[in-house]
Structure 1
């Protein structure tokens, strides 16, 4: 067996067209997951009756089951629920009109929400409670204290873990090929199917994933430097 370097380059060029799909799945799931995770974290920190138990159960279940399971549950379960509701109310809409990538968005957002809730919760708990009391003392409301005092400091604390979670979601997005979404992983299989050079094709895919990971790490490092400069009182 001889490694075909020229085919690796050809596959690499062809795989570039699949990067937007992989990035879309990653970005949407992380952003939506961050919103979900923040809400869940606040519920658990403030121990909201009933919701606290539901939030804890959600985090435990999602963290205790694989991402692929979440994707398949949404892929098979959501259409069943949507079609049943639409049929019950006499609506013409059916789940078949929903693009496949939407199921990936929903499933991975739910997954990211559970993991990021713990990241956000640890960041919020790390902020000194005395600062919140000081905010109340100067007349701030709870929402103002969170927005101006707590969240900025918590973000600086949780940024490294947020970066790690983003990288994990980037790598986990390779599972979308199971629901017929053509991302980098699926594209590499399609490219290799023409001549059975799967090894070379997967090498090209690995290079792209590696490059995207380095890009995320670079962006995180830049953000950390700007935050550190701001905290020292400098100009960011």
Structure 2
């Protein structure tokens, strides 16, 4: 078998059209997941009545089941729920109006929330309890102390794990093709069907993902150097 380098380049250029979709799925899932994860982590750390048990169960169930399973469950469950409610209450909306990428946004955000909750929790636990006590001593409320003192330090401690989660969601976004979302992998398959050169097409996809991963790592390294500058004076 001879490798067609010219087609690898052709496929690579064609795959660039799918990059915005992949990046949107990754960005939405990470941002929404980070918000969910922060809320979950705080509920568990401060043992909010009832909620902390629900939060723990959510993390256990989501982390204990595959990402693809979450997507397929929502893909089949949401239309049943939406159409059922619409028929019962005579609503104008139907599941057919939901864009396919919406299922990916929702599913991946839920998945990211469980994993990022542990990232956030590990970052918060890395901050000395004395920081919160000192903040209270100078008259700060707990929300003020969290926002001004604890969260910045926790973010710095959690950044390496957060970067790994972002990369993981970038790679996991390839599952979106199972619900007919044209991401990079789906575009690679479309391109390959023109002359059945699947190896070259998927190799081009691998190179593109590798390039985006390296870029995320470089940006993370720059951000890590900036957010950890405050600790050079010995702040624990």
Count, aligned residues: 233
TM-score normalized with structure 1 length: 0.97
TM-score normalized with structure 2 length: 0.97
C-alpha distance in 1 between matches for 2:79 and 2:39: 26
The two structures, once aligned, show a CA RMSD in angstroms of 0.9
Query: Deviation string for 1:57-97 (max 9, x for gaps)?
Result: 11001000000000001111112111112222111111110
C-alpha distance in 2 between matches for 1:143 and 1:49: 18
Residues 1:62 and 2:62 aligned together: yes
Query: Deviation string for 1:120-175 (max 9, x for gaps)?
Result: 01111111111101111111111110100010000000000000000000000000
What residue is the counterpart of 2:190 in the other structure? 190
Q: Secondary structure at the match of 1:19?
A: helix
C-alpha distance in 2 between matches for 1:133 and 1:228: 22
What residue is the counterpart of 1:137 in the other structure? 137
**Divergent runs of 4+, >2 A:** 228-233
What residue is the counterpart of 2:90 in the other structure? 90
Query: Deviation string for 1:202-231 (max 9, x for gaps)?
Result: 000000000010011011000011123343
C-alpha distance in 1 between matches for 2:3 and 2:125: 52
C-alpha distance in 2 between matches for 1:177 and 1:141: 47
Equivalent runs, 1:11-160 vs 2, <5 Å: 11-160=11-160
C-alpha distance in 2 between matches for 1:151 and 1:228: 13
C-alpha distance in 2 between matches for 1:84 and 1:133: 52
C-alpha distance in 2 between matches for 1:223 and 1:142: 27
C-alpha distance in 2 between matches for 1:167 and 1:161: 10
C-alpha distance in 2 between matches for 1:92 and 1:228: 52
C-alpha distance in 2 between matches for 1:152 and 1:227: 8
Unaligned 5+ residue runs, structure 1?
A: none
C-alpha distance in 1 between matches for 2:88 and 2:145: 46
What residue is the counterpart of 1:207 in the other structure? 207
Q: Secondary structure at the match of 2:228?
A: helix
C-alpha distance in 2 between matches for 1:50 and 1:227: 35
How far residue 232 of structure 1 moved from its aligned partner, in angstroms, is: 2.8
C-alpha distance in 2 between matches for 1:231 and 1:44: 27
